[in-house]
Amino acid sequence: MFDLTGKRAIVTGSTRGIGLAIARGLIAQGARVVISSEDAADTARVAAELGMPGQTCDVTDAAALDALVACAEHHLGGVDVLVCNAGITGKPGPFAAIDMDDYARVMAINLTAHVELCNRVLPRMAASGGGSAILMASLSGLRGNGRINAYALSKAGVAQLARNLAVEWGPSNIRVNAISPGFIATELSAPLLADAAFMARRMAMTPLRRPGTPEEVAGATVFLASSAGAFVNGHNLVVDGGTLITDGS
């Protein structure tokens, strides 16, 4: 049910952290994956390590998005699975003190780029019989927070985008879902992992009492990409160890 042999995928932001784990997870199930990030050296290195095509892509650049899709068409012959994972956190703080330039960049990378890439890929996917698009949202888009501003707003928008696109493209046999990871142990979260006071507070809010791993998010992605998730559409799959549903007791 989880076999992806013969499937062709694009994963943005796939040279580190969750994106890299997703690429590896898809490949382990038989898919071929275009590796992509805005860093040319990282993209070339990871693509070589995984034996897959790579394409440098700044997801805010329309021409770069065109080149990413062209790379998949050239090397793979099309796209069956699209994972929009690239994103940034932006500057923390309340909305009252927000830097609007930073706000614009967060929204451009985390939300607008998903729209742009889906608009390029989903029509092609429909023409080849269907497929699965998976958009990376976040637990922060489902909870209130006094410091996670534009990031949380963009991720709430990603979950809504998945619902809208699921309605729009479902009749063409395309499923569109979101994944909302909670606190995941990655290079980017290393400073928080080293903060004992933060970890004690955060783990008390998480029934499993531990951070998640990138591979656990990858597992959810494989599920949504494969026939195991063939009747899941327009869903926001929360992968957070139970943080969303707990009262902290």
Domain ranges of the chain: 8-236
Among 32, 27, 36, CA closest to 69: 36
Fold designation for 8-236: Rossmann fold (3.40.50)
Question: How many CB atoms lie under 10 A from the CB of residue 170?
Answer: 14
pLDDT, one tens digit per residue, over 49-106 is: 999 999 999 999 999 999 999 999 999 999 999 999 999 999 999 999 999 999 999 9
Instruction: Look up residue 127 and give its amino acid.
Output: A
Average of per-residue pLDDT across 179-196: 94
Mean pLDDT for 213-225 is: 98
pLDDT tier at 170 (50, 70, 90 boundaries)?
Answer: very high
The pLDDT > 90 percentage for the chain reads 98
Q: Average pLDDT over the chain, rounded to whole?
A: 97
pLDDT band (50, 70, 90) for residue 248: confident
What's the pLDDT at 249? 80
Residue 188 has pLDDT above 90, yes or no: no
* Whole-number Å distance between alpha carbons of 154 and 141: 8
Q: What is the pTM of this model?
A: 0.97
Can you give the pLDDT at residue 146? 92
Catalytic residue selected from 103, 151, 183, 223: 151
> Rounded CA gap, 198 and 76, in Å?
44
Catalytic annotation present for 151: yes
Q: Report, as an integer, the average pLDDT of 162-166.
A: 99
